[in-house]
């Protein structure tokens, strides 16, 4: 029976390798959700992991080439001594697990996946050398991990606690938990592709004002009115795209922690759904995962740089102080400045990549959140999904309109820049 299962597993790898690659990324997503990482941190994990997968596979496919020379400070990857003995698809899967293990806490979970892959590998049917494949995958993973250690992430862990600015325009923590600022130094990380000009390529936020005729006040009034008149559909949209990795629900005197998928995890799940439906090849899937992941990682760095540079007050704080002290947003306000919208930025960046790589005007159903109790939603393009993700922040009551529109515009520019730099 065990031998039969081994043969079946072999054919799963060789004849349907792209599904196994998709499964590996889903395994990483499950661990990221389990371990609870901030949204920017989750995107960083996905980016390094996806790049390792692609780099481990591309040497086995003549029509694809390394990202070395295209990504910022990325080192040269080691070539396998005997390429004909390497199972490059299996190497990609192993590199996925090896690399993700470095960044997550629950290494045991991914260890079990590695052991399952190795133990069920069928030597009698496969002419490739599994041991050589493992050594090769580890070498790629180690190179990517070493590269990650120079991106300034570790230095930001040692910085002093963020100091609030006591000015009317500035962001202040909001209830019910009044959390400290989330990742205030994330904008100092090395980007994967984009440059400083691209990071700062965003229109300025509306000037803070309490004048009832000002644009700032009118945008606050729009948020106020929208939340006071939310439809059932708008609530569904706000809930569907909440994507808060960890939140606390209050039930009487009890506090219940809720874990959910991050924005980057949500978008990679959309990509997985469409790629599986279209039966995209394993190497092209690896390429798309890599571009989508690094686009969102760069979008988070750019967005977080702008957030803490502009330090704009959230709608909740402004509305309670200048319009109605009893007002509440539909979804709990996140613990970082308002401008611009992270979800708008990363969604537009990823949608730009996916549209180029897979296509436009295609119908798909996003059902990733059924596991969290939310009904699936259907879209006719990646851009349509990105637009809904963006406007969901208005329906949630946590962003002004300018943050959505300008964030999405910057995200689209980030996606285009990446495609131009990497070559599409």
Query: Taking a C-beta distance cutoff of 8 angstroms, is the pair 67, 74 a contact?
Result: yes
Q: 215-259 pLDDT, tens per residue?
A: 999 999 999 999 999 999 999 999 999 998 876 665 555 555 578
Q: 362-378 pLDDT, tens per residue?
A: 999 999 999 888 999 99
Per-residue model confidence (pLDDT) at position 314: 98
Query: Taking a C-beta distance cutoff of 8 angstroms, is the pair 126, 87 a contact?
Result: yes
Per-residue model confidence (pLDDT) at position 196: 94
Per-residue model confidence (pLDDT) at position 124: 54
Spatial separation of the C-alpha atoms in residues 295 and 44, rounded to whole Å: 10
Report whether pLDDT(58) > 50.
yes
Residue the block writes with tokens 């509305």: 319
Tell me the two tokens of residue 10: 């072999």
Q: Does the predicted model carry a pTM greater than 0.75? A: yes
Per-residue model confidence (pLDDT) at position 405: 98
Tell me the two tokens of residue 22: 């998709």
**3-state SS, residue 416:** helix
Residue 280: pLDDT band with limits 50, 70, 90: very high
Report whether pLDDT(3) > 50.
no
Q: What is the mean pLDDT of residues 47-54?
A: 98
Longest dimension (CA), the chain: 77
CA dist list (Å): 383 to 96, 345, 351, 362: 28, 12, 6, 10
Q: Are domains 2-154 and 166-422 of this chain identical in fold?
A: yes
Spatial separation of the C-alpha atoms in residues 403 and 387, rounded to whole Å: 13
Per-residue model confidence (pLDDT) at position 254: 56
Report whether pLDDT(386) > 70.
yes
Report whether pLDDT(38) > 90.
yes
Question: How deeply is 107 buried, as exposed, middle or buried, from its count of CB atoms within 10 A (0-12, 13-18, 19+)?
Answer: middle
Q: 293-304 pLDDT, tens per residue?
A: 999 999 999 999
Torsion of CA 273, 277, 279, 280, to 10 degrees: -50
CATH level 3 topology of 2-154: Vanadium-containing Chloroperoxidase; domain 2 (1.10.606)
Among 5-19, 146-160, 247-261, the least confident range? 5-19
Out of 3.30.70.20, 1.20.120.550, 1.10.606.20, 3.40.1360.10, which CATH number does the structure's domain 166-422 have? 1.10.606.20
Tell me the two tokens of residue 314: 């959230």
**Helix spans in 229-379 (H):** 232-240, 263-277, 282-310, 315-322, 342-357
Segment (H or E) for 52: helix 39-58
Per-residue model confidence (pLDDT) at position 126: 63
Report whether pLDDT(44) > 70.
yes
Contacts of 381 (CB under 8 A, 6+ apart): 355, 360, 361, 362
Spatial separation of the C-alpha atoms in residues 123 and 188, rounded to whole Å: 47
Spatial separation of the C-alpha atoms in residues 304 and 307, rounded to whole Å: 5
For residue 249, the tally of other CB atoms under 10 A from its CB is: 10
Per-residue model confidence (pLDDT) at position 247: 62
Per-residue model confidence (pLDDT) at position 120: 79
Per-residue model confidence (pLDDT) at position 246: 72
Dihedral sign for Cα atoms in the order 220, 226, 229, 230: negative
Which residues in 150-185 are b (16+ Cβ under 10 Å) and which e? ebebeeeeeeeeeeeeeeebebbebeeeeeebbbbb
Mean pLDDT of the chain: 92
Q: 308-367 pLDDT, tens per residue?
A: 999 999 999 999 999 999 999 999 999 999 999 999 999 999 999 999 999 998 999 999
Q: What is the mean pLDDT of residues 407-419?
A: 98
For a pLDDT cut of 90, what percent of the chain falls above it? Answer: 84
Q: Considering only CA atoms, which of 373, 364, 362, 366 is closest in space to residue 389?
A: 366
Domain boundaries, the chain: 2-154, 166-422
Spatial separation of the C-alpha atoms in residues 250 and 254, rounded to whole Å: 6
Q: What is the mean pLDDT of residues 113-138?
A: 83
Per-residue model confidence (pLDDT) at position 219: 98
Q: 63-109 pLDDT, tens per residue?
A: 999 999 999 999 999 888 888 999 999 999 999 999 999 999 999 99
Residue 244's beta-bridge partner residues? Answer: none
């Amino acid at each position: 029976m065990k031998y039969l299962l081994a043969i079946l597993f072999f054919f799963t790898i060789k004849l349907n390798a792209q599904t196994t690659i998709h499964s590996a990324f889903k395994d990483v997503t499950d661990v990221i959700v389990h371990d609870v990482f901030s949204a920017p941190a989750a995107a960083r994990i996905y980016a390094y992991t996806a790049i390792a997968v692609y780099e481990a596979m591309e040497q086995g496919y003549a029509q694809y080439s390394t990202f070395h020379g295209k990504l910022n400070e990325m080192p040269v990857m080691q070539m396998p001594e005997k390429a004909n003995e390497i199972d490059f698809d299996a190497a990609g899967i192993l590199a996925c697990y090896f690399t993700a293990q470095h960044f997550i806490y629950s290494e045991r979970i991914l260890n079990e996946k590695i052991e399952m892959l190795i133990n069920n590998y069928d030597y009698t049917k496969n002419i490739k050398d599994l041991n050589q494949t493992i050594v090769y995958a580890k070498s790629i993973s180690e190179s990517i991990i070493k590269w990650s250690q120079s991106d300034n992430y570790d230095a930001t862990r040692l910085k002093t606690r963020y100091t609030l600015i006591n000015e009317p325009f500035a962001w202040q923590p909001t209830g019910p938990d009044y959390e400290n600022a989330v990742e205030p130094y994330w904008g100092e990380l090395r980007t994967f592709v984009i440059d400083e000009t691209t990071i700062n390529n965003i229109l300025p936020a509306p000037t803070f004002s309490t004048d009832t005729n000002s644009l700032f006040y009118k945008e606050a009034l729009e948020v106020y009115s929208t939340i006071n008149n939310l439809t059932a559909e708008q609530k569904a949209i706000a809930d569907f795209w909440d994507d808060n990795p960890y939140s606390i629900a209050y039930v009487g005197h009890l506090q219940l922690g809720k874990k959910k998928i991050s924005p980057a995890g949500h978008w990679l799940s959309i990509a997985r759904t469409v790629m599986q439906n279209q039966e995209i090849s394993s190497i092209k899937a690896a390429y798309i995962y890599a571009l989508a992941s690094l686009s969102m990682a760069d979008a988070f760095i750019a967005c977080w740089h702008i957030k803490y540079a502009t330090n704009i007050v959230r709608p909740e704080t402004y509305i309670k102080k200048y319009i109605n002290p009893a007002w509440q947003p539909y979804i709990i306000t996140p613990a970082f400045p308002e401008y611009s919208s992270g979800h708008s930025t990363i969604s537009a960046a990823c949608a730009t990549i996916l549209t180029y790589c897979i296509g436009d005007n295609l119908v798909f159903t996003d059902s990733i959140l059924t596991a969290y109790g939310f009904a699936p939603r259907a879209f006719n393009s990646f851009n349509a999904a990105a637009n809904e993700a963006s406007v969901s922040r208005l329906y949630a009551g946590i962003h002004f309109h300018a943050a959505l529109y300008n964030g999405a515009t910057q995200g689209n520019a980030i996606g285009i820049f990446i495609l131009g730099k990497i070559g599409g």
